[in-house]
Structures are given as structure tokens and as C-alpha cells.
Chain A
Amino acid sequence: MDIEMNIQLIIVILIGIAVAVKLGYEIYRFFFVKKDVPRCNGCSICKINAIKKKKTA
């Protein structure tokens, strides 16, 4: 019984590590990875993009 409990605990810990890695990656991606194609059309004309360009500069 104890062995089964320990095996279960090890599996749960492994799942926990995998989930933590996934969560960390998603948070990193959300804040730090710049999208190749931004949601907007990516053109250089509207006011919204003007704000973006200004910030980048």
C-alpha cells in the first residue's frame, strides 16, 4: 500500500513540475515574447499604430 502511495506521489510531483513549467512558459510568452504578426493589421497608418511606433522609438 505504501509503495503504491509513494508511486502515486511521485507521479503527482512529476505532473506538478510539468504544469509549473507550462505555466512559467505561458507567463513568459505573455509578457516577453513579441508576436511576429501583431493582432492589428500591422500597417503604419492609423493612430493606434502611431502610438506603437512612438513607443518603440
Chain B
Amino acid sequence: MRLSELPTGEKAYILKVHGSGAFRKRLLEMGFVRGEEVKAILNAPLKDPIKYRIMGYEVSLRRSEAVMIEISMLKEDTLAFRPWQTGKNKKELDVAFEHVFPECNKRQRRKRGRFRRESSNHIIKVALVGNPNSGKTSLFNLASGAHEHVGNYGGVTVDSKIGKLYHKDYTIELVDLPGTYSLSAYTPEERYVRNYLMEEQPDVIINVVAASALERNLYLTTELMDMEVPMVIALNMYDELEQSGSKFDYPALSKMIGIPIVPTVAKKGEGIPELLDETIKKYEGEDKKEPARIPYGRVLERAIELMEREFANVDISHLHFPLRYLCIKLLEGDKEIEEMIDRLPKCDEIRARRDKERAYIEKLLREDAESAFTNARYGFIEGALKETFTEKTNIHDTTRILDAIVTNKYIGLPIFFLFMWLMFEATFRLGEYPMQGIEWLVETAGNFVRSHMGDGPLKDLLVDGIIGGVGGVIVFLPNIVILYLFIAFMEDSGYMARAAFIMDKVMHKMGLHGKSFIPLLMGFGCNVPAILSTRTIESRNSRMITMLIVPFMSCSARLPIYLLFAGTFFSRHAGLVLFGLYMAGILLAILSARLFRKFFFKEEDTPFVMELPPYRLPTFKSVMIHMWERAYQYLKKIGGPILIASIIIWFLGYFPRNKATDVSYGASMTHIETVNRAAEQQEHSYIGQIGKFIEPVMRPLGFDWKMSVSLLSGMAAKEIVISTMGVLYAGDGENQASLQQRLLTETHADGTPVFTPLVVIGFLLFVLIYFPCIATVATIKEESGSWKWALFSIFYSTGLAWIVAFLVHWIGNLWI
């Protein structure tokens, strides 16, 4: 029987994982090992993927992937030889240790010279390692006082971050590494973490283990133990374990494996001083416990021993890996290690021995070496936890109830779209009140300068350039903050992973991965971190496609433009217009993905193995930090690029001064003459000439030269569209009116309004689709490794924007 056939709500036991390569390895590492109990929880709204519970956590798999897993309804079918399973108590387990690995208790192990500190200075280099979503970054933030981004889903950290802290006369350099399930060489994160540990050689490693999914989290610990790194375990989210009613004798486990374990609650800062104390003890060598070695059983241990003999007289010190670890990884078929070995003398003999031992393992254990080692590691964990851990799973009740609603096959998708609509409606409606206050402040500042300063270019710069430009953008600060409140809630609660889960089928149809949906949702905030977050996607082709479609997600920089136009021209249905624009972005992204998959990136997409974290109530503090960070960044942008751009646009619109125009109007002008003179001056200015130059291209879309120039300046950053409009649509020159009022009264020379509903819709769609901002283009270039895809993104998006806006204008005119 295959796992895909397991009815919802039923339990079964894993027999074997078929297939090969990264997918199979990932499944094994995530706990799909022989004998493990698995339960089908529910189907996603479109019947695929399926959520399973295994080892106390939840994971989603597509039907096509679940079919690779062979199961049995009877546990007896799955029993196999495992030395630790024969022992029912700790004593017997110890005997197994002694028997399989006698030198372990005799303290005859090779000293870990590679990691020994060489000087007695008080600077400790500490690396944080752990599974995705185990709370490493929360711990890092709390310990070092940093404000790195955190969220309740795997893969938030894609870059290593460095922080510094001081504890008891010691300076601790803390490095937060991306989350990883294991240290195999299959994904970039795994390889990165492994190479970091070996090449950088931190003094101590803090292995962050999530107490809520202990068994699976300890898998990485077993690999770290094989690597013989000096380690302290932070048993994070310990409060969740206690609340669930589970009992964990962690001191006993610590004694058993010879590694200090400190319970922590990183979110609240509990246990951090104790953790740092243990880290210092480890660094100073005060911790006398000798870490245990994983006993792999007679067959595997014999193979390791024979492999080790093969390395006699071969210098491997430059490889930085312990010999035993090298042998294990060679036997497992780790490609990176194989490449290293191929550069050694006697490599042919080593390879031949390896192949022989692999065949021997397969013959005796009736499973391949990779599965055998993974099974052995999980067997070791199972044995160790049997003595120390009594599990109760009350904690997941809330998650179960919430998931039954938000991932329900009938109402899951409508709830998602309702949430999206609510987000945009709240962004617009709730933001309106503080927005009016800021608008009043901007107008008052403008009128104050107008009435208290003598005429001259500086006054014009202040009123039209700086207050008009920057003031037009700053009014949208409350809306941005509200949008981020919703995004922070999605990220911190665990709903982000659910959104990926319910959308996987749709994404799969488009040749993408459910995981791609997370960067797309993050793109609503800012496209740059969204593109960076595509690093969690294993397949390079899927990652490239996701990177190229992220710019179609309306980032918060585009939000002010939407709010301005939707609020001015469609005030009754502004929320709906916003929702429509965001949905149009998603639709275009999906269609583009399909196109890219068909023509540029034909490789099959990767399997959907994604952990679904339990729901967690976001803390008030973390949400406030999210919102403050965004508000700060927005204000910084206003004080930087937007201010600079407003001044440049003003200069280009103010110069050259046309003396002939001034003379023709004379010294005393009527109000209408003043307005006409300003318009004429602007048309003859540098910006007017640029606008007139590009106007023929934009004219078919119904855009005048001022709109065209605004779009051009918006290439640097989308908010600049607004500040440019604030400068160019300067109003009547008497009172500081809001930009909204100025746009409403803007007319062509023949008196017809510039902004008709069709022009506005076309303009909004153009803004949505065209040129990603400079920062996004630079990130695409960095992440794809070449300018080719960055340039492609520019031309593709701008071309598509023109076509869509043209179709709207053309088809709309046929109807109206």
C-alpha cells in the first residue's frame, strides 16, 4: 500500500521510501523512515497536497510524491534489526553503546584539534545552527539585540547574520545561519551550513532544537555529533513542551549524549543567560563531558571501520572533516565528499572499497546505505527519547481546529481571498483617518511657507519641489504600516505556510511550487527580500521563475499610487480596486510563470515537502517591531531617494527659465494667467522636453507627458511617481491643495479631463506591471548571477505593461 492511498484520519507505518536523489533524502531526513507512524490529516482545498502528521509535527506532500512511500497498516511488518530497539531501558541502551562502540565510554576518541581554541582571549565565535523555524533568529535577536526578520515558517533566514554580545567578560560573536534539516549536500543551505562549520570553525555551536518537534530536530544533532563539533543544545520553545503536558528528562538525555542541554524560550528571553554560561564553559573546556558517538549497528560500523582503514597513510587534514564523518558520508553517497576524495591519492582504492561496502550493506540490511544510516540515526534518537521523553500532543489542538477551517477543502480558498480583501480594505479605510491628519499638516506647512516667504526660486523649491513632492508620499505612511500589520500577522501566526499549502495545486499547474507562493506573498511588502527568500526553493529553474515573477506582486511602494488614484477616482470602491490590482498581479505572475516554464526553464519542478508549523499567536512586541521597522524604512526612503528625486524633478521642471514667457505675461497677472504661465514654463522646461519626447510612445495609452515623466522617474523607486506628480501637478499656485484635488482638476488644453476612468485604470495597471525598481533589478542580477535576467525582467515587464494598458484603453474606448 502507498501513502497516497491512506484515507484521511487513518494511521499507518512506513515501510520504504522509493525514488532517488534529493527528494528521497529529504523525506528520510524529515522522518519518513521505516517503522515510523504516519497519519493522514487532511487534503488541501483542491485535493492536493495532503497534510500528514509524523514524529509529532505536520508536513505536506503531494499525492504524486506520497505514492513513492510504501506503508503498512501493521507495525509488525516494519520491524527490522536495530541494536537500540532490543534494549528496553537505559541500562540496555548503554550496553548497546558499549557493544557497538566500545571506545566511546573509554574516552579514547581523537581530540577535536580542529575546533580547539588556540589563544586565551575572551572573544568566542559562536554559530547558531538548527532546523528551519526552530527559533534561531529569535534567539539571535534576543541575545545580540538585533532586529532580524523572524516568522513562523521555515526559511525566513536566508543569509548568515552576525551579531555581537557581551556576557561575563566575554565577547561573543554570534552568527545566525540559515535553517537546515540536515548537513547533506543536497540544498544550498545544507551545503552552506556544513561548509561554514568546517571552514570557519566556530569555537562553539549552539544547536537550536525545537522542543515541539523533538525527534525530527534531533536528527541534525546526530549529524553534528558525527562532525565532532563542540556543541551546546538550546532546547527552544520549551514552554510549548511544558504546556502540552509532555515530560522530558533533558538532563538524562544530556548525560546520555554528553552534550549540555539548556531549555530556552527565545521569544521571552528565558534561559538565554544559562545558555551563554554553558557556551562559555564549553569554550573554556570546563565541560568535561565527552560527546557520545552515534552507534550505527554492527553492519554499518564494520563498513565505517574498513573505510577508515582505507584512509591509512592518506593526509586528509586539509579537508577539515573528521575521518569517521568522511567515511559515513562516502558510504551515504554524498556527492561533495566524493568530489573531495577524488582529489586524494589512492582515490580509486577508496572508491572501490566504498562501492564494495555499500553493496555489502545493501545485501545484509536489505536497504541502501543512505536509508540505513538515516534509519540508524532515527533509531538512536528513538532509543534515547524512549528513556527520557513522554509525549502528549495537546498543544496541537488549536492548530488542528484552525487548520480544519482555514485549509478546509471547501472554504479554505474563499477564506484566503477574504483575508486578502480584508487586508486591502483595512489598508485603505483605516488608513484614511491618520492620512487626513498628515495631509492637513502638509497643507499647513505649504501655506505657511507661501505666506511667509518672499517670491523666488527657493520658495518655489520648498513649496512645489519638497513639500509638494515629499508631502505627496508621506501621507501614505499609515497605510503602509497597516499593510505590514497584516503581513506580520500572516508571517508570525503560521498562516503563510498554510497559504502556500492551499495554493500548491494552482502553483503546480503553472509549473511552480507551493513554496514559491511565500516569496510572492512577501512581495506584497517589498520585492527585494521576496527575491532573496526564493533561496529556499531547491530547484534553480523554479527559483529563477519565481524571481522573475515576484516584481508582479504589488509591493508597498506601489501602494501609495494605488491609494491615491483609487481614492480619488473610485473612492466608493477603493478597497475593491486595490484587491483587483493585487489579484491582477498574481494572475499575471501565474501566466508569466507558465510562459517562462514553457520557453526558458523546462526542468520538472521540485517536490512539495513542506513543514506546516503549529499556529502561534504573534506577540504584541514582535508585531510592533515589524511595523516600526517598516515605518522607519519608509521615512528613511522619504528623507533619501524621494527627497533627492523631488528636487531633481523640480529643477528639471523649473529650468531653463523662459524669459520670453515672463515678458509676454507682464508683471501683473490675473490668476488664470499665472496658472497658464506656469504650465507653459513647465512645457518648455527640461522635464517638459523629456516628457514631450516620450509622449508619442505613451499617447496610445491615453497618458499625457506629465504621467509619462512620472512613470519614468518611478523607475528608481515607485513612490517617486507620486512625488513627481506632486511636483508636476502643482495646482493653482495660490493655496496648497492636496494632490488628490489637483489631479481631479487637471485638464488638457481643450478642457477635457486628463484622468478619465479608463486612463486611470490603464495607468494603475501600467504601474503594477512595468519596470521593477532599481533595487529589485539589482537583486535579480545578484541572485541570478548575471545581468541577462535583470535586463530581461526590465524589458519583459515594461513591454507587458504597455500592451496591457493599451488593450485597456483601446477595448475600453470601444465600449464607452
Contact = CB atoms under 8 A, between A and B. Distances in A.
A55 to B, nearest CB: 8
A8 B648 contact: no
Interface string A7-42: 111011001100100110000001000000011110
B196 A43 contact: yes
Contacts of A44: 195
B320 interface: no
A45 B191 contact: yes
B192 A12 contact: no
Contacts of B159: 39-41
Contacts of A57: none
Contacts of A49: 785
Contacts of B454: 1, 4-5, 8
Contacts of A7: 456, 458
Greatest chain B CB density within 10 A among A5, A12, A43, A46 is at: A12
Contacts of B648: 19, 23
Chain B interface size range: 20 to 34
A30 B191 CA distance: 30
A30 B540 CA distance: 26
Interface string B445-464: 00000000011111101000
B457 A9 contact: yes
Nearest to A54: B785
A30 B774 contact: yes
B78 interface: no
Contacts of B160: 41
Contacts of B195: 43-45
Interface stretch (B103-111, B237-245, B775-783): B775-783
Contacts of B196: 43
B188 interface: yes
B188 A39 contact: no
B192 A22 contact: no
A7 B458 CA distance: 9
Contacts of B336: 45
B191 A46 contact: yes
Contacts of B413: none
B647 interface: yes
A48 B783 contact: yes
A1 B784 CA distance: 58
B192 A15 contact: no
A40 B532 CA distance: 8
B785 A30 contact: no
A30 to B, nearest CB: 7
Interface in B743-788: 774, 778-779, 782-786
Contact of B456 (A4, A19, A22, A55): A4
A39 B779 contact: yes
B651 interface: yes
Contact of B782 (A39, A43, A55): A39
Chain A interface size range: 20 to 34
B365 interface: no
B644 interface: yes
A51 B786 contact: yes
Contact of A5 (B158, B178, B455): B455
Interface string B171-188: 000000010000001001
Given A4-B454, A5-B455, A51-B785, A41 B644 contact: no
B647 A15 contact: yes
Greatest chain A CB density within 10 A among B195, B458, B461, B651 is at: B458
A39 B785 CA distance: 11
Given A9-B456, A19-B648, A41 B178 contact: yes
A45 B160 CA distance: 15
Contacts of A11: 458
Contacts of A46: 188, 191-192
B191 A40 contact: no
Contacts of A51: 785-786
Contacts of A39: 159, 532, 779, 782-783
A39 to B, nearest CB: 5
Interface in B626-673: 644, 647-648, 651
A38 B455 CA distance: 49
B491 to A, nearest CB: 21
Contacts of B644: 19, 22-23
Nearest to B532: A39
B783 A40 contact: yes
Greatest chain B CB density within 10 A among A7, A39, A41, A44 is at: A41
B458 A8 contact: yes
Contacts of A1: 454
A1 B456 CA distance: 9
A9 B195 CA distance: 60
A44 B779 CA distance: 19
B180 to A, nearest CB: 12
A45 B461 CA distance: 52
A25 to B, nearest CB: 11
B782 A47 contact: no
A23 B647 CA distance: 11
A9 B196 CA distance: 57
A17 B779 CA distance: 30
Contact of A8 (B192, B456, B774): B456
A55 B784 CA distance: 13
B188 A12 contact: no
A12 B458 contact: yes
12 contacts: A7-B456, A7-B458, A12-B458, A15-B461, A15-B647, A19-B648, A23-B648, A30-B774, A41-B160, A43-B196, A45-B336, A47-B540
Closest 4 CB pairs of A and B: A8-B456, A51-B785, A8-B458, A46-B188
Interface of A: 1, 4-5, 7-9, 11-12, 15-16, 19, 22-23, 30, 38-41, 43-49, 51-52, 55
Interface of B: 158-160, 178, 185, 188, 191-192, 195-196, 336, 454-459, 461, 532, 535, 540, 644, 647-648, 651, 774, 778-779, 782-786
Given A5-B455, A40-B159, A46-B192, 17 more contacts: A7-B456, A7-B458, A12-B461, A16-B651, A19-B644, A40-B783, A43-B188, A43-B195, A43-B196, A45-B185, A45-B191, A45-B195, A45-B336, A47-B540, A49-B785, A51-B785, A52-B785
